[in-house]
Copies of this chain bind each other. A is one copy, B any other.
């Protein structure tokens, strides 16, 4: 009895049928107006729009998609941790591209957990996302295969997938590290330590390979001062480098595999009032403020996210194409300052 013509039932959302009744037209005419089909008589269109506004009609995107079977205008983005600037920058760049295609992003964090990654991917496939952008955590992405074959493309960022064919957007980890270590060698360093971790198998592997290449060229045994951390706490990097320095014949230069490792190392340097020639992979916003000079491998993180999203949308437009691998270039840049008074400060944005 509450469902009278005044449509005052607060819980129920008006449908196209309600609008049609209110405007005195057929359901289909309402549908046409909602879809901006031009072949609708002006006065009818106006009446329909009036009814829509009056009832507060909002089209049900879910239902529309179900029947048309077209796109959901949604893509999934699975990263490792949205609170980390590297990943949030990727998310922001991908969101900006998706915007241009009127597509929304479902962003989820796997927290470096392969099982969680898999759950999230399957959930997003069930939601019929048009495509997926993934920073993979596990070493088995074969569960993507069925859906990729059925036409839901995936693009992988930072590490390539294992067990399925897909587009990738990667950093040039190897070249970046090789050039960085070459620089240390050119400066005359022979005792060059490396601190990497075991958490990021692919990228760290590439960086180690780049360092090994440069060291090998110079006939240096890279194994003498090599630490592989099992934790991503900067503290553990500090401890590792402390051990190196306390051992006989300590290194004179040090390559840090990422910026968290660098932070731990710098802290240890400051604690010991020691200087080492520092070098690291990853630039970051406040690297200019570090209290020690460091040469870092920089790259355009936004570009990584942008590229991946562009590749995804390109593939959505032409599904047949061969998979491709894009590599984002790296460069060397000097950061950090001598903690002496009177130095010029680094530029700020």
A residues adjacent to B (C-beta < 8 A): 10-13, 56, 58-63, 65-66, 72, 74, 81-83, 85, 88-89, 91-93, 95-96, 104-109, 122-128, 146-147, 149-151, 233-235, 263-264, 266-267, 270-271, 273, 285-286, 289-291, 302, 337, 339-345, 347-349
Contact = CB atoms under 8 A, between A and B. Distances in A.
Contacts of A12: 150
Sorted nearest first, the 10 A-B pairs with minimum C-beta distance are A286-B286, A88-B88, A270-B345, A83-B92, A289-B289, A56-B146, A82-B92, A61-B126, A267-B348, A61-B127
6 contacts: A10-B150, A58-B122, A62-B66, A105-B106, A105-B107, A234-B349
Contacts of A341: 339-341
A95 B77 CA distance: 13
A150 B13 contact: yes
A217 B306 CA distance: 52
Given A62-B66, A106-B106, 10 more contacts: A56-B147, A58-B122, A58-B126, A61-B128, A74-B106, A83-B88, A267-B347, A289-B291, A339-B341, A341-B341
A179 B289 CA distance: 28
Nearest to A338: B341
Contact of A345 (B150, B233, B271): B271
Given A91-B82, A105-B107, A348-B234, A62 B65 contact: yes
Contacts of A149: 10
B88 A264 contact: no
B59 A126 contact: yes
A12 B347 CA distance: 56
Contacts of A343: 339
A150 B11 contact: yes
Contacts of A347: 267
Contacts of A107: 91, 95, 105-107
B147 A58 contact: yes
Contacts of A83: 88-89, 92-93, 302
